[in-house]
Amino acid sequence: MNTKIRREKSMPIVALAPSNSPPLKDWQAVDCKRLTFAESNLSLIQEDLWNGVDCVIVWAMIGTKARELCSRLMNCSQVLLAHRNSHAIWYPDAKFERQFKNAGDVGRVWMSEHYDEFEKKIGLDKFDKLLSSAPVQSDSYQGKKREKQLENMLLNFGPQHPAAHGVLRLVLKLEGEVIIKAVPHIGLLHRATEKLIEYKTYTQALPYFDRLDYVSMMCNEQAFSLAVEKLLGIDIPPRAKYIRKREKMFEFAERVSGARMHANYVRPGGVAWDFPIGLMDDIYDWAVKFPERIDELEDMLTENRIWKARTIDIGIVNASDALNWGFTGVMVRGSGIKQDVRKTQPYEVYDQMEFDVPIGTKGDCYDRYLCRVEEMRQSLRIIHQCLNKMPAGEIKVDDHKIVPPKRAEMKDSMESLIHHFKFFTEGFQVPPGATYVPIEAPKGEFGVYLVADGTSKPYRCYIRAPGFPHLAAIHDICYMSLIADVVAVIGTLDIVFGEVDR
């Protein structure tokens, strides 16, 4: 940090610079007495050494010792500022004055704009690479002067940053390392998803939802399928409801749907395929062993003093602000509000499931972390209940206007083949109406507002992404936090830009 002390008649200006001064032999060309002293021990400097010195180069001094140094430079006529930006004028802020309150009177510093002639005068022009500043003129100097206000730093967080789940560009205005403004820039992943859905049939529009929150794609499919089924007025078979309810790992999702990320599995009228043989046994084995992994996670993090220091009292959101900002999911439960769509508005078979809704008390990053850990345990409870209660039977509604024919029927029946072709090219018609269906996704309330006009294509499809209001409030959450805390805040916000930008 480059700091300067106000110049008075009996006190020269002193610059404090990083402790990377060049060797003393490089300063032999300076037309003044060569001074050698230890920067960390000013007691070695005798006052009589400074008498008659024309120019003093102050390099690598510590701020708290500047006052003592200034008292020893009573007879110097010039002080060379050895720092890159020392030819400009700087106004110290209140924070700097508190930090260097023992460094003398801190105030305005005037510097000469015409410094080339002074470099030649004292023989420093050949060392221009070592010095990029200028000596100070005497008080009688009447040349052109300029002043400069110290500006806060603007830092771009992203859009290529490993901590942001996607292309988040966050413009941070910093005062030192403290954030005084955080402006999110969205739209870098905008694909006009809602508009594209209006030009697709209800079946063709389903894969677009896999690309929203691609970390939990089947939840997106479920919200859209529930909205279509509500407009159609149909009820899917119980087995299909239980299949939709379980939180599957990617490996299980790949086995049942054929795709690891974009499953296209949950469809209006049920699900695409039934479970392969042995999958339920494998899910049970995994669900029995997974609590041990959660325990290992908690042993490593929950009581870790470093983890707690980086998450406790970081990103605090009180209950009132959480409701006013439209937060859902862990963001509102971490603030102490017991809100869960699966409890307040049960859908599918959640009214038959027994599970608890964990809540926090303080609303900081640590509370949100604890809520997510407990939610993993509650998800395991739901998985066990689904495995025990899942009935045998069909996985689709018995209405060939809504679901395609089976592949075996297509091999024996020409009508089934024609039906399959028309189903995927023309789609099925949905009666006119409008509906909004929310579900409890891992990141909060994921909702689909669907308007049908009686054709095979949606008239309007609005998607409520839970991460959008969370990101909109990031300035208020990060205000007056350290820049290192941004990563913790974004991690607990759990933002995926596939759904935010859409």
Domain range enclosing 217: 185-501
Let me know whether 196 and 138 are in one domain. no
Instruction: Look at residue 176 and tell me if it is in a domain.
Output: no
Same domain, residue pair 212 and 68: no
**What was the pLDDT predicted at 241?**
77
pLDDT of residue 253: 56
Q: Specify whether 278 is located in the same domain as 135.
A: no
- Whether residue 323 is contained in a domain is answered as yes
Give residue 142's identity as a one-letter amino acid code. Q
pLDDT grade for 265, boundaries at 50, 70 and 90: confident
Position 95 scores a pLDDT of: 55
pLDDT at 270 over 80: no
pLDDT at residue 3 greater than cutoff 50: no
- Determine the average pLDDT of the residues in 305-319: 86
Mean pLDDT, rounded, for 442-461 = 86
The total domain count for the chain is: 2
Say if residue 217's pLDDT is above 50: yes
Range scoring the smallest mean pLDDT among 81-90, 218-227, 463-472: 81-90
How large is the average pLDDT for residues 353-374? 87
Q: Which tens digit of pLDDT belongs to each residue from 24-42? A: 333 333 333 333 333 333 3
| Residue 163 within a domain | no
Is residue 427 a part of any domain in this protein?
yes
Rounded to an integer, the average pLDDT of 235-262 is: 61
Statement to judge: residues 122 and 250 lie in one domain: no
Find the range with the poorest average confidence among 135-139, 473-477, 490-494. Answer: 135-139
Q: What is the domain-level CATH number for residue 436?
A: 1.10.645.10
pLDDT at 332 over 70: yes
Domain membership of residue 151 (yes or no) is no
What is the residue-averaged pLDDT of the chain?
68
- Give the confidence band of 245 by pLDDT, cuts at 50, 70, 90: low
Better-scored residue on pLDDT, 17 or 222: 222
For 408-419, what is the mean pLDDT? 76
Q: Which of 146, 177, 203 is the endpoint of a domain?
A: 146
Which pLDDT value is given to residue 57?
41
Q: Is the pLDDT of residue 353 over 80?
A: yes
Largest CA distance in the chain: 110
Residue 5 has a pLDDT of: 33
> Are 502 and 191 a contacting pair, CB within 8 Å?
yes
Q: What is the chain's percent helix, strand, coil content, to nearest 5?
A: 40, 15, 45
- Residues 202, 123 share a domain: no
The confidence score (pLDDT) of residue 8 equals 32
Does 159 map to a domain?
Answer: no
Residue 485 counted as domain residue: yes
Alpha helices of 160-216 — where are they, by DSSP H? 193-197, 202-210
Going from the C-alpha of 439 to that of each of 3, 245, 333, 342, 343, the distances in angstroms are 56, 11, 16, 7, 11
What is the predicted pLDDT for the residue at 260?
A: 53
pLDDT > 80? residue 323 = yes
- Among residues 146, 165, 200, which one ends one of the domains? 146
Q: Please say which residue of 91, 124, 146 terminates a domain.
A: 146
Using DSSP, state whether 79 is helix, strand or coil. Answer: strand
Give me the pLDDT at residue 482, please: 84
Same domain (yes/no): 126, 233: no
pLDDT band at residue 322 under the 50/70/90 scheme: confident
For residues 105 and 214, state if they share a domain.
no
Strands of 89-234 (E only): list them: 111-112, 145-146, 153-157, 169-175, 178-185
Each residue's pLDDT tens digit, 82-132: 333 333 333 444 554 455 444 443 333 333 333 344 344 434 444 343 333
The angle subtended at Cα 27 by Cα 148 and Cα 11, nearest 5°, is 50
Statement to judge: residues 209 and 349 lie in one domain: yes
Here the tokens at position 182 are: 């955080």
C-alpha–C-alpha distance, residues 202 and 209, integer Å = 12
285 and 363 in a single domain? The answer is yes
Integer Cα distance of 383 and 354 in angstroms: 11
- Check: pTM over 0.85? Answer yes or no: no
Tell me, what's the pLDDT at 94? Answer: 55
- Supply the pLDDT for residue 257: 53
Q: Is the pLDDT of residue 410 over 80?
A: no
- What mean pLDDT do residues 360-387 have? 87
Question: Are 217 and 275 within one domain?
Answer: yes
pLDDT digits (tens, 9 = 90+) for 172-187: 888 777 888 888 888 8
Do 220 and 346 have their domain in common? yes
Q: Assign 267 a pLDDT band (cuts: 50, 70, 90).
A: confident
- What is the rounded average pLDDT of the residues 190-194? 84
